[in-house]
Chains A and B, each alone.
Chain A
């Protein structure tokens, strides 16, 4: 009964390259959330997706960042033309419910992105 799976665990990119971060939610979960944790800062919400739909992207930077959650396969957070400031830990969480208030979020182990 696998939990939320994120890969890769560590990702190194040079400035200007693209970064693709993957998140497979828990079995039976159709809601995915992405969060970013910058060094020495707290977690910040980025985006909330359901299958094939972006529900809330109010935390996503306006440029270079995009997210998707296709009908088949994992959710992808894509960062184009990475810069050093994108270096952070990126966490994915999933839930089964679409209730107004979640009882519990299940988190992945995160992807540590380092931009050289």
Chain B
């Protein structure tokens, strides 16, 4: 079993819909990152969370440390949100700051 699991693997939505992507992990962590990988392959860092909730524009990320779960929400989705969304965690023991464990990603497609 992977240490970081994302669901769903694939998600198709209509423009304007509210989207939720989930990430569960099985290790103790110091931080959790949400990344966006564009169809061309480039990767952008969206959020780093260690507790609570963060918001940036139409994106909201939450984390529940006790339940070892994080969600990424997109409000009023748009076709340009189509990408692979990746969850990555930094273990709180061993390893260095860049030694992240990645989920396999959720491929989001937003139809106009």
Contacts and interface: CB of A to CB of B under 8 A. Distances in A.
Given A41-B104, A101-B31, A101-B90, A106 B98 contact: no
B83 interface: no
Interface residues of B, number: 28
Nearest to B90: A101
Interface of A: 31, 33, 35, 41-45, 48, 55-56, 58-59, 89, 91, 93, 95, 98-107, 109-110, 112
Given A48-B99, A109-B40, 7 more contacts: A33-B98, A58-B99, A93-B98, A101-B30, A104-B45, A104-B48, A107-B43
Nearest to A109: B42
B50 A91 contact: no
A48 B96 contact: yes
Contacts of A55: 96
Contacts of A93: 43, 98
Given A42-B104, A105-B45, A112-B41, A31 B30 contact: no
19 contacts: A41-B104, A42-B86, A42-B102, A43-B88, A43-B100, A45-B98, A48-B98, A56-B99, A58-B95, A58-B99, A59-B99, A95-B98, A101-B48, A102-B31, A102-B90, A107-B35, A107-B42, A107-B45, A110-B41
B88 to A, nearest CB: 7
B3 to A, nearest CB: 11
Nearest to A3: B42
B98 A105 contact: yes
Given A103-B48, A112-B41, A56 B90 contact: no
Contacts of A106: 45
B41 to A, nearest CB: 5
Given A99-B97, A101-B48, A101-B50, A44 B42 contact: no
A105 to B, nearest CB: 5
